[in-house]
Amino acid sequence: MSGLSIQIRLPLADFTLDARLELPGKGITALFGPSGSGKTTLLRCVAGLARAAGQVEINGACWQDDSRGFFLPTHKRALGYVFQEASLFAHLSVRANLEFGLKRIPASERKVGREAAMELLGIGHLLDRGTDTLSGGERQRVAIARALLTSPQLLLMDEPLAALDAKRKQEILPYLERLHDELAIPILYVSHASDEVARLADHLVLLEQGQVVASGPTTALLARLDLSLAREEDAAVVIDTTVLAHDDDYQLTRLGFAGGSLQVPQRPLPVGARARIKIQARDVSIALASEHRSSIVNRLPARITGFGEALHPAQCLVRLELAGTPLLARITRLSRDQLGLTEGMAVVAQIKSVAVLG
């Protein structure tokens, strides 16, 4: 059976972690929630580092099934685990760290080659260094490569960027995107940073107080008005687009998706390449008709599908759909009433700013 099936129950100090999840067997699934919501514990239960009651099945391989008293110890699970802080063995060189897991995998079961992993994470030049001479970002890249070299069926990452400063984060994010694009290994990614989630995750699991509040595709979940995500100051949606064309005169790139197309300042991406974009709710305004001339380039026909409360009582959230693609707009309640916006109404979404991720 394909997919990750996780049923876990574990009483903790303040609440009971109780997660029942059916997750896609490929791509990056983010476990997202505030600190202390049980994300890391859930990850540790999947790894077998913490002992919860329940079942864990990973793409057909059973790791735990309490109904028949089965619990595979961590070292027998085909997983890779990247810890939050640097977890390299201090008594070993970078090379020996990488080989620590690799040498325990029979040659016939090695799917990720040494060269490929080193190239993927850009660590070839670090091999003979001691671990104490590496920067935080380099250490985390070595730790990721070390985990990959065990050819895992599942990669578990516990806030791998949390201990790094913003610059190091930017240094590692492209490598994580390459993992996603070039390897067929599903990744469970714990994070409390919405920007990482928006950039990396295909699927999103929202945890609060040990309970799963929502689970679904990132694009859909970010646009749900009933979840806390939409009420945050930097509420945004993400859309997966394809590069359609470049306009060299005006230095613009046209990105297409199910609901239309958008123009963004030119990016060095080949036509046909995939690009994920993020549109913040505060950057979307609403007009009634498209003939009004405006300096805003991206004006798309949309339909209002719902209203929600915003953080500040002066404002409200409007959920729009562009032929199935959801979008959030944050406007004042005054504007809503003056324009007479109602559910089902056809309007024009004016998008002031688009962030191309990656």
- What's the closest the beta carbon of residue 151 comes to other proteins, in angstroms? 10
- What's the closest the beta carbon of residue 141 comes to other proteins, in angstroms? 16
Contact call for residue 81 and other proteins (CB under 8 A): yes
Stretch near other proteins under the rule CB under 8 A, chosen from 53-61, 96-104, 233-241, 242-250: 96-104
Residue among 15, 27, 36, 100 that touches other proteins (CB under 8 A): 100
Stretch near other proteins under the rule CB under 8 A, chosen from 42-50, 283-291, 295-303, 342-350: 42-50
Residue number with CB closer to other proteins (131 or 350)? 131
Contact call for residue 104 and other proteins (CB under 8 A): yes
Contact call for residue 49 and other proteins (CB under 8 A): yes
Contact call for residue 80 and other proteins (CB under 8 A): yes
Contact call for residue 87 and other proteins (CB under 8 A): yes
Residue number with CB closer to other proteins (163 or 269)? 163
Residue number with CB closer to other proteins (111 or 254)? 111
Contact call for residue 146 and other proteins (CB under 8 A): yes
- Give the binding-site size for other proteins (rule: CB under 8 A): 25
Contact call for residue 14 and other proteins (CB under 8 A): no
Stretch near other proteins under the rule CB under 8 A, chosen from 84-92, 204-212, 280-288, 325-333: 84-92
Single-letter code of the amino acid located at 156: L
Residue among 58, 147, 229, 264 that touches other proteins (CB under 8 A): 147
- What's the closest the beta carbon of residue 177 comes to other proteins, in angstroms? 23
**3 state SS for the chain:** CCCEEEEEEEECCCCEEEEEEEECCCCEEEEECCCCCCHHHHHHHHHCCCCCEEEEEECCEEEEEHHHCEECCHHHCCEEEECCCCCCCCCCEHHHHHHHHHCCCCHHHCCCCHHHHHHHHCCHHHCCCEHHHCCHHHHHHHHHHHHHCCCCCEEEEECCCCCCCHHHHHHHHHHHHHHHHHCCCCEEEEECCHHHHHHHCCEEEEEECCEEEEEEEHHHHHCCCCCHHHHCCCCEEEEEEEEEEEECCCCEEEEEECCEEEEEECCCCCCCCEEEEEEEHHHEEEECCCCCCCCCCEEEEEEEEEEEECCCCCEEEEEEEECCEEEEEEEEHHHHHHHCCCCCCEEEEEECCCEEEC
Which spans of this chain sit near other proteins (rule: CB under 8 A)?
47-49, 73-76, 79-81, 83, 87-91, 100-101, 104-105, 131-132, 146-147, 150
